[in-house]
């Protein structure tokens, strides 16, 4: 069994915001693989899929971003999950819109949800998949920026990045993190997996709108 944690804030007011792109990846995962109806467990919305004969839990913490670790810690403890079977998906200000990056470990890089997870688990050795949301323009406030929505001219790149992220997770499940890193830590304009769904990526409050 593996667990994919999508980071975001619960509630309709946050749907489609830059900070909630982790939730968008979970929703696309569920659409592509046919997730079960979500349930609430350990302060999170949880759905389940079967991919390449691997049981996968899709976990969207409902604690608000900065307390995400509280929920994730409960899942790791309950399932006695090796951290190599955990993947955290979230936004990154330091990557351009459309870019994705996988890492085996490292600091949170200013991402408060990831920081909460690293703190609660007591280690930086937590695999993560980051999706770029760009930097705030000029002297714009970073908090307002991440809680804002993508511009219309960015949406196609966002949808493509979310779709590539789902494909990267499929490779992670079947072939491991290093294989996924080798294939997807590259220029976003290269061929990195499936195209977005015909009607675009669904943006949700977690996994509950699949």
Catalytic residues: 19
* Strand order across the beta sheet in which 44-51 lies: 39-41, 44-51, 54-61, 2-6, 86-92, 128-132, 100-103
DSSP 59-104: EEE-S-GGGHHHHHHHHHHHHT--GGGEEEEEEETTS-TT-EEEES
For the record, the structure tokens of 28 come out as: 């696309």
Q: Alpha-carbon Rg of the chain, whole angstroms?
A: 15
CB-CB contact of 98 with 132 (8 Å) = yes
């Amino acid at each position: 069994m593996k667990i994919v944690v999508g980071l975001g804030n619960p509630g309709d007011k946050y749907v489609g915001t830059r900070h909630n792109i982790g939730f968008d990846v979970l929703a696309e995962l569920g659409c592509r693989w046919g997730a079960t109806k979500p349930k609430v467990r350990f302060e999170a919305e949880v759905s389940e899929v079967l991919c390449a004969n691997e049981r996968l839990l899709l976990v969207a913490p409902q604690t608000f971003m900065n307390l995400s670790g509280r929920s994730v810690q409960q899942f790791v403890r309950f399932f006695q999950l090796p951290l190599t079977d955990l993947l955290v998906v979230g936004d990154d200000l330091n990557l351009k819109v459309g870019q994705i990056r996988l890492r085996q470990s490292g600091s949170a890089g200013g991402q408060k949800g990831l920081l909460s997870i690293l703190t609660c688990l007591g280690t930086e050795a937590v695999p993560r998949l980051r999706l770029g949301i760009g930097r705030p323009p000029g002297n714009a406030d970073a908090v307002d920026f991440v809680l804002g929505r993508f511009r219309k001219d960015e949406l196609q790149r966002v949808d493509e990045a979310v779709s590539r992220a789902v494909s990267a997770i499929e490779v992670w499940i079947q072939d491991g993190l290093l294989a996924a890193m080798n294939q997807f830590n590259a220029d976003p304009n290269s061929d990195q997996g499936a195209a977005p769904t015909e009607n675009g990526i669904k943006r949700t409050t977690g996994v509950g709108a699949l």
